[in-house]
Structure 1
């Protein structure tokens, strides 16, 4: 989006409600490229939500790994495990309700939740690591930075003339400033983490800085906006609870193991340093786990029967309510009953609640992600991504899809051309990555 000034498209028409919702300033509903609406009666944030919901990038998440690989099931009756799409939809439902309870615009929070995983590549975080290795000399790869790139550049929805060349250039979904900001979990470039410069987490590539600087206008440093904090907690709640549910359904988690001391210590060892600070006392995690096990709705003795499935579903609902109500209550206690939005507040989540959420993440990590067959699968997936990158580099631009072939031809240097190859691979589903790899390598 270099060279394209904000507001470069035609002036907005008479339909879109440019008056921001209560609690939001006029700048929150501005778009990088001004444009008319096609239908009266909807707000700018409703339009954002609709654009993300109808995007091809969101649909592709149906074929991308969450925790249990799509298509994997342990028994014939086992329900299909969650994918990145179902996780995003569930995150959006949690975030919409929590955000509305705190005074955020619900469509804005839902749009952010639907957007938060759009940049994830095939094979989940494993694919992310493999692509980061390939892209180390062109700025690295990070799923959150890729989400911003997709929303503002790759997803073909809105094109505007480049003032320098006159050629049409994509501005992606052209969401409002507030929607892009709400979807930005890590508002800093690579190496600029506010407390840990070595952290691999970042939210923008260097060549996407113009639109990033625009969306972060008047933002206080690296602080995330309130809606992004709601999105982030909703993400944590959804995946911590649902990953355990999927693990139980698939037969990977035996709830009785959580009563055995050696197994408990193994779970706490996973949590410390990965899901909670490294100086956390494991006893604090033990207390968090015991609080959950002591609830009358906890799915003790899960056996897959219809009654057990219903009890597990109730436990899922209870956990989501428990985690969201704790955050809502603590935030209201700190800020009162008014509307909370943008940079007017911080989401407050009690430490005890974060410990309960973290111990659930560690349970899924220990019993689902750390299975021996999963490590063998991950090793194979890394080979697929690495060989795909090598094969596409050798065949570019002819071997690229038409959209990325055009971007490759327009790229200004080798670094930019390599980024296009990364974009192509990141857009693939698990199945399409394997299919393309088989076709290019000549082996299944």
Structure 2
């Protein structure tokens, strides 16, 4: 397994030594597992709201997705010679910054937050882990969040640059519309995390986390869509239906892909014996569906692991365990074959076509965006009293309107799909 040095295991705020029987990354994993932010994911949207899957007893949430992503990432990390606790922690933490209503809520908050630097779920991740979560306080009374190790925080940063609208000397910034992982307010800790990292390179652990995320949600969202009846196996075997899915997949996920190539890959994918012949939600059918999801996850993970070893060799990937020099966090890339990426994108396209692009889903999203905009106005109107006690000092001590707005955005982002409407009703009644 790769060795991680003192630089990798350093923490932003110094702490006394912990239990010597636990590694630094085991401590990180425990901190995320016990965090309020992780618990809140149980009531946050994964792709669509639970009411869209009213026929299901337990549709996936951001929490169940994060747990599934963590299992996939942990095994991939171990297979590729990385510390499994480090990779698992990054997977558990990768969605903590998502606001209520998923990416729809993210867009609404981004519009609200224009005057304070915008909103991005990945940047909110970093803010939660290093500032907003209650765990460690610095000597001067500031919060250091969960105070995770440098290597773990870097593994969460899959977009290690600032927004296109903000540029700091020596720090890469994103193109317009491109995700990023740090707000101007959090630049100091971001620069500490990235000490020694070349340019905008993404750590190997972050790349494993990112692929585990893609694999988990592409496969499991398909499973939910089949179980709910939004997608049928008959539709996936219809060439015209598949052609429509291919067009949407190209438009949403892989704009440079060739439609004919997508169609060929899709046809081969659904012709695989893994796919059950029928699905009527009986016990035998559910077992067949589980074989499909397990097989697809294994297919996508094994493809990346084999391709990575083919490029770097097992010694370079596995490092000291293979008898050679350990591979550094920024000296290796995860290699995912192009065809595998397109297969994964097509599964995302299936859910997008049959669930996310429905007219009633668009109407629900519009109501959600209106609710978030109104909630922002209501909270600001009564702030700081309308904020939770932990966030009031940030509003009161803010140097300007932008700082006060950021505190309001932090508050809304912490809410869930259920608590956001409840807050809206309560504040509206007293407005």
Matched, 1:65 2:39: no
Give the one of 227, 234, 242 matched to 2:212. Answer: 234
Structure 2 residue corresponding to 1:180, chosen from 153, 159, 163: 153
Q: Distance in 1 between matches of 2:231 and 2:172?
A: 37
Q: Which moved more, 1:201-210 or 1:29-38?
A: 29-38
For residues 180-233 of structure 1, the C-alpha deviation after alignment (integer angstroms, 9 at most, x for no partner) is 000001000001797971224111001100000000001111110000000000
What is the aligned partner in structure 1 of residue 304 from structure 2?
327
Match of 1:355?
Answer: 342
Residue 12 (structure 1) aligns with: none
Deviation (angstroms), 1:406: 1.8
CA distance in 2, matches of 1:273, 1:216: 34
Matches within 5 A, 1:357-436: 357-436=344-423
**Alignment partner, residue 13 of structure 1:** none
Shift of residue 22 of structure 1?
A: 4.0
1:3-402 to structure 2, matched below 5 A, reads: 22-75=2-55, 78-162=56-140, 168-191=141-164, 197-276=175-254, 278-338=255-315, 339=318, 340-402=327-389
Tell me if structure 1 keeps the 8 A contact 2:2–2:328: no
Residues 139-158 of structure 1: per-residue CA shift (max 9 Å, x gap): 00000000000000000110
Verify the 8 A CA contact 2:160 2:200 in the aligned structure 1.
Answer: yes
Tell me: CA distance 1:200–1:437, structure 2 relative to 1, closer, same or farther (3 Å): farther
- Render the CA deviation track for 1:253-281: whole Å, top value 9, x for unaligned: 112112223322221111114211x2311
Partners of 2:183 and 2:177 lie apart in 1 by 15
Does the 8 Å contact 2:250/2:256 carry over to 1?
A: yes
Unaligned runs of 5+ in 2: 319-326
What stretches of structure 1 of length at least 5 have no aligned partner? Answer: 1-20, 163-167
Q: Specify the SS of the correspondent of 1:169.
A: coil
Q: TM-score, normalised by structure 1?
A: 0.91
CA shift, 1:301, in A, is 2.4
Aligned counterparts of 2:280 and 2:423: Cα–Cα separation in 1: 39
- In the alignment, the residues of structure 2 paired with residue 195 and residue 212 of structure 1 have an alpha-carbon distance, to the nearest angstrom, of 13
Q: Show CA shifts across 1:383-415 (max 9, x none).
A: 110000011111111111101112211212111
Work out the CA distance in 2 between the residues paired with 1:127 and 1:225: 28
Distance in 2 between the 1:341 and 1:79 partners?
A: 44
Q: Is the 8 A contact 2:122 2:181 kept in 1?
A: yes
CA contact (8 A) 1:71 1:80 kept: no
Distance 2:335 2:172 in 1: 19
Gap change, CA 1:282 and 1:196, over 3 Å in 2: farther
C-alpha distance 130-269 of structure 1, shift in aligned 2 (>3 A): same
Give 1:299 deviation, angstroms: 2.9
Is this contact kept in 2: 1:182–1:231, CA < 8 A? Answer: yes
94-103 or 296-305, which moves further after superposition? Answer: 296-305
- The alignment's TM-score, normalised by the length of structure 2, stands at 0.93
**Which whole-Å CA distance do the structure 2 matches of 1:442 and 1:211 have between them?**
40
Distance 1:313 1:52, change over 3 A: same
Corresponding residue number in structure 2 for 1:165 = none
Which deviates the most, 78-87 or 62-71?
62-71
More helix by share: 2
* 1:419 aligned counterpart, secondary structure: helix
